[in-house]
Amino acid sequence: MKTPLSSTSSFSTRNARPPPYLFILIAFVVTVAVLYAQDFIFSQLALNLDQSLSRTDKLPFAIERTEEGCDVFSGRWVKDELNRPMYEESECPYIQPQLTCQEHGRPDKEYQYWRWQPHGCSLPNFNATLMLETLRGKRMMFVGDSLNRGQFVSMVCLLHRVIPDHAKSMETFDSLTVFTAKEYNATIEFYWAPFLLESNSDNAIVHRISERIVRRVSINKHGQHWRGVDILVFNTYLWWMTGQKMNILKGSFDDDEKDIVQLTTEDAYRLAMKSMVKWVRQNMDPKGSRVFFTSMSPIHVKSTEWGGRGGGNCYNETTMIEDPRYWGSDCSKSVMKVIEEVFGQSKFPITFLNITQLSSYRKDAHTSIYKKQWNPLTEEQLANPVSYADCVHWCLPGLQDTWNELLFTKLFYP
């Protein structure tokens, strides 16, 4: 029998004071919650979208589903000099001079040797023959800005090695670039549309415009060129991030007096996302085609954000960020919430390629100063390489090959 507590017990409920370690425990829990909150919010978007896909019938081109509980976008970078890079820069003649870092003097190659390793599972090996056989008689198109063009070029480099020289070609027609695998009657294409909607930045070559204007309800201006595509990969983000309100054109660019209203970045971005989802629903066949959307590509322009010296950026960075919770200020969570809101209402399954967090660690992988410069550099720039380092785009081979490994995974093993 247990002895009942007496009224003179040394621990009195009425006068009890919580032990000191309880305060330490509470403080620890609160700290962890704050640190991981943004990671949870971001990963939850991909999880929610994946769950909505899992409720649909078998997706076109799918071989089997990824093992349950495996989030291929959550993991770590591991060095793999045996299997990386997946091709050599000099082997792929299709890489634009803006992305050929070795040709333009980058002294190190460490950025090429990293492989993405998800927690608890592994990515399937990229199989170029399987991809080409799947594309036989079909079209695959990347639509968006120069970052999506980089992913398109990466895909071409991953595939072209198994195609004889006489059986492949690359041609450009204004905003459209087409790589053709002739023996497969297949094309991998890129279409320049940085906002997806019609804009004053639609010229694929001359598009550096200080005051950007986007025309509402205008996706068919570009969408007419996407019809008949079997696999679509969209992206749009960086061009919206002006730091100011967006200029939205209500009428036509041909109007003498233009009716322009200003919207917040989030509201303007929502217009584009809704237009894209509507276009997909009206023009794509869910039983025979697939649609992907690549999340925001991070930039690395503030070295203080990863513990570096003030005034620095990606220039001279040869190692990655090791903090698993790192999140740069350039990646807008409010824009991510817009994507979740709009895609969550889509009746057509859109596969979300959540490349943001894994790319955020890779401050080492940008082109930096190792690229073709289209204008002569001034003496002041040459004296300060940070001033002209490109911390937006990525060297090839490199990070964007991993984006395509993830695209391959989600295409065949959703």
The one catalytic residue among 202, 364, 390, 401: 390
Query: How far, in Å, CA of 196 to CA of 143, rounded?
Result: 8
The one catalytic residue among 225, 300, 366, 393: 393
CA triple 342-242-398, angle to 5 deg: 80
Is residue 146 annotated as part of the catalytic site, yes or no?
yes
Sheet holding 246-249, edge to edge: 213-215, 246-249, 260-263
Is residue 218 annotated as part of the catalytic site, yes or no?
no
Per-residue CA distances from 131 to 40, 119, 229, 378 (Å) = 33, 25, 15, 45
The one catalytic residue among 146, 199, 218, 346: 146
Helix (H, G, I), strand (E, B) or coil at 144: strand
Helix (H, G, I), strand (E, B) or coil at 279: helix
Cα torsion 258, 264, 268, 269 to 10°: value is 150
Whether 382 contacts 129, CB under 8 Å: no
Whether 279 contacts 223, CB under 8 Å: yes
Whether 347 contacts 53, CB under 8 Å: no
Per-residue CA distances from 363 to 168, 274, 326 (Å) = 34, 32, 11
- 57-95: string of b/e by CB count within 10 Å (b at 16+)? eebbbbeeebeeebbbbbbebeeeeeebbbbebeebebb
Helix (H, G, I), strand (E, B) or coil at 200: coil
Is residue 393 annotated as part of the catalytic site, yes or no?
yes
Query: How far, in Å, CA of 364 to CA of 122, rounded?
Result: 23
Q: Name the residues annotated as catalytic.
A: 146, 390, 393
